[in-house]
Structure 1
């Protein structure tokens, strides 16, 4: 037994001695270096909390106030037909992005405009063939009520990515809420600060085997095999040509290569077509008062009462991040939303508007956390603008008949980590590692190219203390743990916020495509076999009665004209 114990002890000693020294944890002892960060000092005392928050009565009072708000919101659910539907999609608007943006705009206790909505839920975002989704399959879930394959536009899961022939089959094509709204006589519009042909807006009006077919240069090599690029579908497609308002970026997909758009940026189409000119000609043939605009001044000059159709392209590619934009030239997301609503509200039948805060996503992909948070603020302002335009917080009929839903298509890998003190700058370092004896940023990414900005080639972190004078620069990249050519989306659930008719349907946890079904139900849209509310059935009966009356009037008028002709023929 003694021999066994001795051998066991020798084995343990050998294993311990064989461990790589750089994997052993740093133990803080009496001989450890002098503290280099306040939080490394054993005598460090956290800062005091705000004075009013120390009082228990503050928390009791605010808790009761919020409870009363929720009781009021849930006491009498709004079960009217949503005559108007406004869908806001924050591209990549993860829950950590929301939390970080609150601190960015003023503090942990702040709320974004849509976070005050009375009904919230969580949506599961996977595609049918990917755990972590993209904006195409998630847009199909939200706008069409169907989950499909990664990267495909407006087609069912029977269509693999890049498959043209299967995307042409009518049985594989899906219908968006904007298409249903047009069939019902309602106005429709799309606002985005990305390319108008990008994945999310494209799903509203186009079908394609790949989200990348934005113009003819990306179609399959055999001339497209009968498939039509997304930009052309916006101008000549059944849904696209009937959109009342279209505002965004991406003019390069509408102008031929070798020419410049109205902002002096080059086109890239190889078929020689100028789709903007084609849109103007088509609208003239239909005797519609149409306006094309390319800058903020042109948009501001629009008189909604004198325009039937509005088309705006403000950049060749995506529009600029608001912090970096020429704000005299490019309109903000809130300004575009306001202009769209001015036109859409003229239709007494109602409208459906899709608004995408699309620049949160590319900012995250580049590990540009400050720009991602700032673009979230832009979305917050656009939602605030829409709420005000549709009646604010009052109880007038317009507000009561408008469903506003805010959600994200997918998440990102941004995290809020460490133990930063209350009120700490969200863009700065917030805690200190006692292992490598350096501070670290509160905001970090799981992956991305910024890995190379924050790690030495030989291993180990670069000291963030040497970077803190740059962390407010919009182009400063925040650290990533794994090198990757483009920071990835995240697979976690996303938040859903809703107010207005049937907003309570969006409470709970559900598959993302359920959002699409909730929108159709609330708006009294979709196929006849879909569920209908009592208010919807009454609306449909009213429409049928109105239609019947119109037919009776027309028939009586026709009979009168026949009788009159017969009577006159006698003389």
Structure 2
């Protein structure tokens, strides 16, 4: 026993007490209070005066409830003669919330947030947890989930596989293709390249979203066609009534320029714009190609059968950075498209993509992402106004959603009414404020962190945070801020819009659109209104056949008498 005590004493002398037995000795002086709430004279912020009364919340809650009850008791079960699909590329739920504040306050509403029905969609691809715009567009426009990066083909086609993408059994059919088969007009409007992933899915099939022109096709070729070629010569592309967006470089050969002086990049020497004009002339269609805002504004919808517009070589410019005298806005392009499409008595399907939200997020440019969301809000507002003015709202299904999310977050405890683009809270740990908007990853990491570690002080940046090109902080360095894997919102109004309530897989959107519009294969579910429409069309066709037969008989009798 004595030996054990001696050994223990020696151990203590050499090593001291074990950590879990050693007393805690405070050697550092606690930092002075730096957070506003640590100030003994701190007063909590106050909200708007009228919101302090419980009567305000009771009245507004009951008012909203009455609206919901009315929507539930008066469901629109008509056939959706017209379908307008708005896709905000990268329009995450935090982006929506931040945009409301950017527009004027937490209580603001975007135009489509007033739609009567809303839901959530799960956005993963069949092979990726976090999706891209290609596989998500297939879910929305085709009702089928597929592989990351592939355009309009089933999950049996791996990325970059040309031979398998050519098999008819692997090809998918978009709602625009079904609409054309039904005699309806179709259109695409985007402020990205019109060959970019989301719009491409509407009319093309390719083993990779990157095959926008012939320079990106596999070296072997293998019979695959680039996406721009398919817009001009493909079965769906050549029958589009309207196609407006950017991406002219994919339609012009290298060594030439478009109408705005921007260079083409095709290596096959083909001028696809000229080929489109020639093809329309051969079909005796009144076609117009435009390359600027003035040209689009000069279009007389009553004098044009087909409209094609390419306004930039790459994506169209961000609204805040655009030459607005030259580039039309998303709302203006939407209005021009609707004026043409509404001429078809059978109806139409229009895809509108607010696509520049996505590249803004990828570059950690939060202000531009929010402003581009406002542009989508205005385009939806324009469409609602035009359809209501024409009395078509009861036959028009409008759906607004995102293809996928992003890593933008709204954090801290900023007070009500705080500038969403500014700092909103303070860290007691590094004694510096931090921005309300932050990203999980991206290149802006290097703008906000020292190479040796530690944050740069945002207080030194507050004079720049409203600049459109100011990058918001990212927690992890990454060459291009990534998409997010969280669910996205879906908003709907019009016939069968209640189908889009709840939480569901993203491809269910595609099936809901086809059902509402009375489109798709015969084996798909049909509403009673749809079956009546089909029966009416069949009886009309039968009646026309009988009339033709009678006229033919009378003509033969007349010839015999003569």
Q: CA deviation at 1:433?
A: 0.3
Q: CA deviation at 1:25?
A: 18
CA distance in 1, matches of 2:287, 2:86: 25
Q: Give the match's secondary structure for 1:310.
A: strand
CA distance in 2, matches of 1:217, 1:364: 27
Q: Give the match's secondary structure for 1:234.
A: helix
C-alpha spacing 1:23/1:541, structure 2 compared with 1 (3 Å): farther
- 2:35–2:428 CA contact under 8 A, matched in 1: no
- 1:40–1:434 CA contact under 8 A, matched in 2: no
Equivalent position to 1:460, from 454, 460, 463: 454
CA distance in 1, matches of 2:479, 2:320: 24
Q: Give the match's secondary structure for 1:6.
A: helix
TM-align CA RMSD: 3.4
Q: CA deviation at 1:74?
A: 1.1
Equivalent position to 1:420, from 397, 414, 423: 414
The C-alpha deviation readout for 1:320-369, integer Å capped at 9, x for no partner, is 00000000000000000000000000000000000000000000000000
Q: CA deviation at 1:316?
A: 0.2
- 1:85–1:402 CA contact under 8 A, matched in 2: yes
Unaligned runs of 5+ in 2: none
CA distance in 2, matches of 1:404, 1:10: 82
- 1:256–1:268 CA contact under 8 A, matched in 2: yes
The C-alpha deviation readout for 1:145-185, integer Å capped at 9, x for no partner, is 00000000000000000000000000000000000000000
CA distance in 2, matches of 1:328, 1:20: 75
TM superposition score normalised by structure 1:
0.93
Q: CA deviation at 1:559?
A: 4.8
CA distance in 2, matches of 1:272, 1:106: 50
CA distance in 1, matches of 2:278, 2:61: 59
Q: Give the match's secondary structure for 1:445.
A: strand
Q: Give the match's secondary structure for 2:42.
A: coil
CA distance in 1, matches of 2:162, 2:298: 42
CA distance in 1, matches of 2:380, 2:515: 22
Unaligned runs of 5+ in 1: 567-571
The C-alpha deviation readout for 1:228-247, integer Å capped at 9, x for no partner, is 00000000000000000000
- 2:176–2:186 CA contact under 8 A, matched in 1: yes
Q: CA deviation at 1:525?
A: 0.1
- 1:441–1:464 CA contact under 8 A, matched in 2: yes
Equivalent position to 2:359, from 362, 376, 384: 362
The C-alpha deviation readout for 1:195-218, integer Å capped at 9, x for no partner, is 000000000000000000000000
1:314-463 mapped onto 2 (5 Å cutoff): 314-390=311-387, 399-463=393-457
C-alpha spacing 1:66/1:290, structure 2 compared with 1 (3 Å): same
**Total equivalences in the alignment:** 558
C-alpha spacing 1:6/1:228, structure 2 compared with 1 (3 Å): farther
Q: Give the match's secondary structure for 1:346.
A: coil
CA distance in 1, matches of 2:318, 2:24: 42
C-alpha spacing 1:8/1:86, structure 2 compared with 1 (3 Å): farther
C-alpha spacing 1:29/1:172, structure 2 compared with 1 (3 Å): same
CA distance in 2, matches of 1:26, 1:547: 94
TM superposition score normalised by structure 2:
0.94
Tell me which residue corresponds to 2:5: 5
Q: Give the match's secondary structure for 1:23.
A: coil
Tell me which residue corresponds to 1:141: 139
CA distance in 1, matches of 2:79, 2:252: 41
CA distance in 1, matches of 2:202, 2:73: 35
The C-alpha deviation readout for 1:481-536, integer Å capped at 9, x for no partner, is 00000000000000000000000000000000000000000000000000000000
Q: CA deviation at 1:76?
A: 1.6
- 1:46–1:421 CA contact under 8 A, matched in 2: no
Q: CA deviation at 1:552?
A: 3.4
C-alpha spacing 1:547/1:207, structure 2 compared with 1 (3 Å): farther
Q: Give the match's secondary structure for 1:323.
A: helix
CA distance in 1, matches of 2:533, 2:265: 47
CA distance in 1, matches of 2:284, 2:179: 22
- 1:26–1:435 CA contact under 8 A, matched in 2: no
C-alpha spacing 1:562/1:483, structure 2 compared with 1 (3 Å): farther
Q: CA deviation at 1:457?
A: 0.4
The C-alpha deviation readout for 1:294-313, integer Å capped at 9, x for no partner, is 00010001000000000000
CA distance in 1, matches of 2:286, 2:20: 72
- 2:34–2:428 CA contact under 8 A, matched in 1: no
CA distance in 1, matches of 2:167, 2:526: 29
CA distance in 2, matches of 1:118, 1:428: 33
- 1:39–1:432 CA contact under 8 A, matched in 2: no
C-alpha spacing 1:424/1:273, structure 2 compared with 1 (3 Å): same
- 2:424–2:435 CA contact under 8 A, matched in 1: yes
Q: CA deviation at 1:32?
A: 4.0
- 1:25–1:435 CA contact under 8 A, matched in 2: no
C-alpha spacing 1:7/1:461, structure 2 compared with 1 (3 Å): farther
The C-alpha deviation readout for 1:238-257, integer Å capped at 9, x for no partner, is 00000000000000000000
C-alpha spacing 1:281/1:461, structure 2 compared with 1 (3 Å): same
- 1:192–1:247 CA contact under 8 A, matched in 2: yes
Tell me which residue corresponds to 1:565: 560
Equivalent position to 1:486, from 475, 480, 485: 480
Q: CA deviation at 1:47?
A: 1.7
C-alpha spacing 1:560/1:2, structure 2 compared with 1 (3 Å): farther
